[in-house]
Structure 1
């Protein structure tokens, strides 16, 4: 099967969506399928395909993480997709490239799958003044409903996505397919004791400290400020627990200032941005992953930390609580006191008990690999492409594959 995946960003940019797509691509290719990633690229001067990626010229958006935004209309892009001749299109973005994928799927009369990864209500403040947030939220909900109505199948990594669509009047079912990662990359045994010691020394973290790590974008939606305030309220230097905050973002400097104001300098370290290929080593020196974020849908960093053997300590969010099995691979907290209590319990555990817990955590995500994700989506792809109307459309598409279809004449493409 040939699958075209439309994404606003892709490697070398890194975020949870990019990780999801790269893992899906890897899994599909391992199973013998052909994948073309269609992505915006602010550095591209023209459309070109390289290493299975169709790079689309784009402009940089300073408001949206500095990523590129591409026009949804491009005759060149359409012609290149025609040449690839996909059996199905999978849209994983709601912006220019995503709209392009929706239109091209309609032109080619092929099935269209849509995955919503992000709860945009938590990110609207990036693009709208505070006074306009309620209006922009309303428009965003209507826009999501329009996109959902134009696709053949919707997927999402947690029930939070299903709840979101249902609350805005979308009756179409949501296929819940949890995120996955490349498990083997986060095996803590990939790193020697010497490598771990050197990394700790780089940040002046004593060997006797238990390290609680947070990895993610340092933005308002991640609630790192809550984590710092909870820390200041309940954790003392004599507890021997160090908070390692890995990542960069617009709130990095304000949060570092907040840590100083709260007198956390000796207990908290900000690393700044870290290349994704190095992040596994930071998990390897840590003992527990901690997050106060309530904006997650199905956290990739939580998966990565679990694959590294770290129990997760997460502020309770009912709609994604299925990602953590309390007492087995993690714990929940609702207050600073609860957070500190769990951290102290973990600190007191003997090495043998911690080893057993790490093994249990790793086992809880052992089936979260690339092929597992690919197989789940292939069931949807196969079901859609097997429908009678799409079999007829395939014959039509093959007959016109070498012709020039104009975007302005898409309404003339007959069923």
Structure 2
């Protein structure tokens, strides 16, 4: 596995890579993970406990991205050097990259030289990185073009290219001018989550994810201010935390917005179980594992009608969609859920559980195993 993000620094791509790797180990595979170290040092491969399973980690020297609180990266000109070292030592049957950016880029090029098949999964949109570039407008446009050009060169070398949803696959095919992108859900183990079916005594809105600009968490804060007695639980951290706290102060609801920060898996699941509704205003989700976690916890969903989120919401059944950045509509949809009678609320809960069952991790593992064996999967 080639991962540009991995524990202890977590985002959606890292969470997927962890669960996929652990699931493969449970099925008897030997899994090695090439990922950034937490410091600029090359260490010997070591066993790390990830998702309850022993994975072999090859931690590569990395540096912190300036202006970002946790994102670390490998110097691009060293990626092929480290890839050669790992591939010569492990001699894998297949390489699966979770990003084309640095580690995945080097692994793809070196694996190709050795005749090792490469599977690629794309979790990123180049546009999502713009908040961390600190470039002027013209620089951002050039950055996006160069990033997608580099992605195209890397993805043209792989045996199969996947992404979490059909909509994300369509986006990739249009943006890169390619075909045959395979949609495979990131998957979720529903047994890890607890769904308490029934009405809630309090109006608890919850969001799980990074507190960054593309997540538009400020929309959730503004909406909460307009819903009497509602509280907003923010589970996660990011560079927008201080700005969000200031906004809550300005709106006079600082006591109704709870910043949990980064929490353990147990605390995350508990926050979802006790919530009334999961809300997400993000405009750049290629799937959203956090939304699936909320569904597995039996929560109705209120989500922005953007990119892949509509795949997880059936309007009026397990929740509602709202026009991105439309606070009035967001408030109205949250009010519908929070004000629903007991029977309607429970129906939304059960609909979320039924819909997320299609994303069971078992199907995801089966599909990737087939790809690793070289079988053809319909795009």
- Decide: shared fold, TM above 0.5: yes
1:127 match: 133
Alignment match of 1:383 (pick from 349, 374, 379): 374
Aligned counterparts, 1:255-404, within 5 A: 255-317=244-306, 319-334=308-323, 335-383=326-374
Match for residue 59 of structure 2? Answer: 55
TM-score (normalizing by structure 2): 0.87
> Bigger CA drift: 38-47 or 17-26?
38-47
What's the Cα RMSD here?
2.4
Structure 2 unaligned segments of length 5 or more: list them: 48-55
Q: Which residue of 2 is the match for residue 136 of structure 1?
A: 143
Query: Displacement, 1:80?
Result: 4.0
CA distance in structure 1 between the partners assigned to 2:106 and 2:342 by the alignment: 54
Which of residues 18, 22, 25 in structure 1 aligns to 2:14?
Answer: 18
Shift of the 130–229 alpha-carbon distance from structure 1 to 2, 3 Å rule, reads farther
Instruction: Please state whether the residue corresponding to 1:376 is helix, strand or coil.
Output: helix
SS in 1 for 2:119: strand
Question: Relative contact order (alpha carbons < 8 A, sep ≥ 6): 1 or 2 greater?
Answer: 1
Distance 2:320 2:227 in 1: 21
Residue of structure 2 equivalent to 1:173:
180
Change (3 A) 1:181 1:63: farther
Report the counterpart of residue 51 of structure 2 in structure 1. none
> Are the equivalent residues in 2 in contact too, given 1:145–1:165 (CA < 8 A)?
no
Q: 1:148 aligns with which of 146, 152, 155?
A: 155
Offset of residue 93 of structure 1: 1.7
**Alignment partner of 1:162 is 2:169:** yes
Q: Greater Rg, structure 1 or structure 2?
A: 1
2:206 aligned residue: 213
TM-score normalised over the length of structure 1: 0.80
Q: Secondary structure at the match of 1:37?
A: strand
Partner of 1:213, secondary structure, is: strand
Partner SS state of residue 103, structure 1: helix
Structure 1 residue matching 2:350: 3-state secondary structure = helix
Q: Which runs of 5+ in 1 are unaligned?
A: 190-206, 386-415
- Counterpart among 72, 78, 93 of residue 68 in structure 1: 72
Deviation digits for residues 281-315 of structure 1 (CA, Å, limit 9, x no counterpart): 11111010011111111001101111111111001
SS across alignment from 1:365: helix
Give 1:19 deviation, angstroms.
1.0
Q: Deviations over 1:172-221 (max 9, x none)?
A: 311001121232222246xxxxxxxxxxxxxxxxx842101111111111
